[in-house]
Amino acid sequence: MILRHRCLPVVVLSGLLFALAGESRAADKPVKVFILAGQSNMEGHGIIKADPKRNEGKGSLEYVAKNSTTADKFKHLLDKDGKWAVRDDVWIHYLDRKGKLTAGYGAKDDRIGPELGFGCVVGNHCAEPVLLIKLAWGGKSLGKDFRPPSSGGEVGPYYQEVVERTKAVLKDLKKEFPEFGDRGYELAGFGWHQGWNDRINQAFVDEYEKNLAHFIRDIRKDLGVKRLPFVIAETGMTGPDEKHPRALALMKAQAAVAEYEEFKGNVAFVKTQHFWRPEEQSPTKQGYHWNSNAETYYLIGEAMGGAMNKLCATVK
């Protein structure tokens, strides 16, 4: 008994030192950086506040977080005081805005996009701090605005913006986010949600598959990560009943790229049509913006985040 009592502090001390060493190693790990890029649906038009004049608030983030039928899934977005929770492990840099991730990083500060669901899923998965660099502008096509160098013709100015802005944030990471200290970073993945401005143009639809494949290759080359995990979110607005040939062709092209042999295991395609919510369940009738339904935008981001976690676990 005496020997066991005398040895106990040594065991406890050893365990404590091991735990502290583990925490020290975790504190030294680089920040996991994910880029989220695209046009207006990556900007995000999911309305946060429940407005009784808009279908009794249905489809807003506030509604799904507090309504009894959906609260269990979304209650983690609220803090103990019923306000929007602020993540202490996920940060976001979105053009002229930055900070810890919470509701309000959509196209306007009263909206959300896929970043919220994506950040929650990836943040829960990663032991390291997570930074989302969101680069999205409304009304931009892959055929012209995001056109990658390997597609030929004039390089899209917003392709260049994605590359240059990403490099600028990472170059000044300590200045942009002093709380990261000297951790450094790992560019860990790229999420893409875009397509409306291509699917309304037949010529752009016809070359979308080629352009997206080149976009992935060129982004990896220009950002210096050979097998950067890449998630494509389907341009599925208007839902599973979509019948327009251009829309169907564009979604087929997006799915096809993920099946290329060179992209097996490092590119994922996420279906989104089933996240569509009709007008009577949504704040607006803007079909091209998923009817401004915040549940939809959250679920798209959540699905993208889940796909990203799977890719990151396998890509070396």
In a domain, 1, yes or no: no
Among 68, 42, 245, which Cα is nearest to 133's? 42
Backbone angles phi, psi at 106, to 5 degrees: -90, -160
In a domain, 18, yes or no: no
pLDDT digits over 31-80, tens only? 999 999 999 999 999 999 999 999 999 999 999 999 999 999 999 999 99
Residue range of the domain that includes 260:
31-314
| Beta-bridge partners for 84 | 78
Please return the burial class of 9, using the count of CB atoms within 10 Å of its CB with bins 0-12, 13-18 and 19+: exposed
Once rounded to an integer, what is the mean pLDDT over residues 104-130? 97
- Phi-psi category of residue 93: left, alpha or beta, with phi > 0 → left and psi -120 to 50 → alpha: beta
In a domain, 19, yes or no: no
In a domain, 16, yes or no: no
**Domain CATH number, residue 163:** 3.40.50.1110
In a domain, 14, yes or no: no
Spatial CB neighbours of 109, under 8 Å, sequence gap ≥ 6: 97
Radius of gyration of the chain (CA): 21
pLDDT digits over 288-316, tens only? 999 999 999 999 999 999 999 999 999 87
Cα–Cα distance list, 125 to 88, 118, 122, 162, 278 (Å): 14, 11, 5, 25, 32
pLDDT digits over 171-208, tens only? 999 999 999 999 999 999 999 999 999 999 999 999 99
Per residue, the 3-state secondary structure of 32-66, as one string, reads EEEEEEECHHHHCCEECCCCCCCHHHCCCHHHHHH
Total structural domains within the chain: 1
Is residue 295 within 8 Å of 70, Cβ to Cβ?
Answer: yes
In a domain, 267, yes or no: yes
Classify strands 185-193 and 31-38 as parallel, antiparallel or unpaired. Answer: parallel
In a domain, 230, yes or no: yes
| Beta-bridge partners for 100 | 91
In a domain, 12, yes or no: no
State the average pLDDT for the chain. 92
